[in-house]
Amino acid sequence: MSGGVVTIDCGYLHPEFAAAYLITEGDRAAFIDNNTRFAVPRLLDALAGAGRKPEKVEYIIVTHVHLDHAGGTAELARLCPNAIVLAHPRAARHIIDPSRLVAGSRAVYGDETFARRYGDIEPVDATRVRSMDDGAEIALGARTLRFIHTAGHAKHHMCIYDAGSNAVFTGDAFGLAYPVLQTGNEPFVFPSTSPSDFDPAEARDSIERIAGTGASVAYPTHYGAVPHVARVRDMMLRSLDVMEVMLAEAIASGLDDDELERFCYRPMERFFRTELERRGIVFSQSMQEYLADDIALNAQGIAVVALRLRGVIL
């Protein structure tokens, strides 16, 4: 625990791969992101470990509705009966009616993987869901939380600045920073371009807004506290330049379907290999396997945006 912030390992796919955060203030508490319903027991254990009761959870905050962030929202809301769910205005409707979200995610992962990773996703009663506008503030006891809309990774994404700990909770908008990738001679934080909203200009704008909070620590969902916010900003902006070149090449390629995805996969894998080797980390078979999902999702995301910008899909 640091500044009333607890990092909870959700046990999703690998250890230290996806986090949820617990903020405590007085006898009150709030969760930021909740991974999936299978992580909810871990969240409640952390709450008990911090000496708070589920009835005292005031807010269940989701950075965006991707299911490794918000998949446990309904289950957590059921078990924390007084909590209000706070979400981006474009995310709130999917929490109240998750049917489109579930259908989209099933299409990406297939029924079997979807069921194993996410289980059933229930709706949350609309009376318990509140949309947070850009710049809105809310009190958690003596603390103030400020909401910052941060598109680029997803249109329904927001970050949360906590003045109490001078920290910013960044979801997927300020990169992914798995601890196993931080063992080289400098940190490695990379952008997620996963389907289907990636927008390099919006992503840059969000990175500047996050760094502009003056926070001394960022808490990306993947994973844990990241200091050196200014360095991460620079790293993210450089990486986005590389990914924007990939996008331009994907648009110019004229390819589609599987061919386009393979075309995008190669430079994405090269990006990871180059960045890790530059830091003295071997891009071993096991590292390739560890990053396989992220590389494939990033490549898919670039391919989807290329098709949309070419007018092939809506």
**Minimum CB distance to Zn ion smaller for 52 or for 66:** 66
- Residue type for 313, please? I
If the CB atoms of residues 48 and 292 are measured against Zn ion, the closer one turns out to be 292
**Least distance (Å) between residue 68 CB and Zn ion:** 7
SS3 of residue 35 by DSSP = strand
Residue 270 burial (C-beta neighbours within 10 Å; 0-12, 13-18, 19+):
middle
Whose CA is closest to 31, among 68, 78, 86?
Answer: 86
Min separation Cβ 171 and Zn ion, Å: 7
Q: Which amino acid is at 280?
A: G
Query: In the complex, which residues of this chain contact Zn ion (CB under 5 A)?
Result: 66, 172
- The residue (of 44 and 60) whose beta carbon lies closer to Zn ion is 60
Q: Smallest distance from the beta carbon of 154 to Zn ion, in angstroms?
A: 6
- Residue 207 to residues 6, 151, 178, 307: CA-CA distances in angstroms? 24, 10, 18, 25
Min CB(143)–Zn ion separation in Å: 26
* Residues paired with 130 in a beta bridge: 86
62's tokens: 């989701």
Q: Are 127 and 82 in contact (CB under 8 A)?
A: no
Q: CB of 182: closest distance to Zn ion in angstroms?
A: 20
* Position closest to Zn ion via CB: 66
Residue 17 is which amino acid? F
Closer to Zn ion by Cβ: residue 9 or 25: 9
Question: Would you say 4 or 152 has its CB closer to Zn ion?
Answer: 152
